[in-house]
Amino acid sequence: MSTMARVAEISRKTGETDIYVKLNLDGTGEARLDYPIGFLGHMLTAFARHGLFDLEIRARGDLEVDQHHLVEDTGIVLGQAFARALGDKRGIRRTGGCLFPMDETLVRAAADLSGRASLSFEAGLSGIPLVSAGFTAGVPLSASFQTDTVEDFWQGFTQGGGITLHLDILRGRSDHHKIEALFKAAARALRDASEPDPRGAGRIPSTKGSLENPGARDPGFPKVPDFPPGVIV
């Protein structure tokens, strides 16, 4: 495993969104967010804490349309940062899983840093928006969250990162608890998958000898440049 810091930084601007992400896979769980959707900001903070990832995000989007573009694009950019920080994935465990309880809710997450983008998502969310006061420290935020965009976030994340991810809500009542447990379980599964494997040091954990994201060569997928781990652009 390289001793270089596994840190990546990505900016992505389109006609719909403007997003900056900095990710340290070997952090302490600190999150610094300037994010206009309060509930998703809360989920990203939980993701950083449970994955022990240091995460910085600044984002703006066309929320006058709806939340879909910003939520999905945030997933894409975070996935790209994850892939870039991993580098060639030499010496990592590659797979990880978590069974996460949160009160009445139980969630299962399984991740494979395979280079192949695939999402299996069985959440059973109601689709009813979660409503908040819309302010934090006097700053206005989007006062509701479109729960149907949660799958869009993880779809973007898996495509951006070339990651296989299974997310299943086994039981639960509250959509808030279901979504929060999903983010926490995914973070812990991804943390397990990306951690160094002492017995596999220096080796690519694949008989193919490569875990490159094939989508990086496909114009239909977000491009993830081939930088070594630790390179920040």
Q: How confident is the model at residue 13 (pLDDT cuts 50, 70, 90)?
A: very high
Mind listing the pLDDT tens digit for each residue in 99-140? 999 999 999 999 999 999 999 999 999 999 898 765 554 545
Res. 173: pLDDT tops 80: yes
pLDDT mean over 150-178: 97
Res. 94: pLDDT tops 70: yes
Q: Which are the contacts of 37, defined by CB distance < 8 A and separation ≥ 6? A: 63, 67, 70, 71, 141, 142, 145
Look at residue 35 in the predicted model and tell me its pLDDT: 96
228 close to 4: Cβ distance less than 8 angstroms: yes
Region of poorest pLDDT, from 33-42, 66-75, 200-209: 200-209
**CA-closest candidate to residue 228, choices 89, 118, 132, 111:** 89
- Domain at 7-217, CATH from 2.40.10.120, 3.30.230.40, 3.90.400.10, 2.40.30.210: 3.30.230.40
Look at residue 228 in the predicted model and tell me its pLDDT: 42
Q: How far, in Å, CA of 212 to CA of 30, rounded?
A: 28
Provide the token pair at 131. 């409503």
Look at residue 203 in the predicted model and tell me its pLDDT: 75
Region of poorest pLDDT, from 35-44, 69-78, 134-143, 216-225: 216-225
Look at residue 206 in the predicted model and tell me its pLDDT: 62
Mind listing the pLDDT tens digit for each residue in 28-45? 999 999 999 999 999 999
Res. 166: pLDDT tops 60: yes
Q: How confident is the model at residue 215 (pLDDT cuts 50, 70, 90)?
A: very low
| 72-74-75-78 Cα dihedral, nearest 10 degrees | 160
pLDDT mean over 131-159: 79
Look at residue 207 in the predicted model and tell me its pLDDT: 56
72 close to 152: Cβ distance less than 8 angstroms: yes
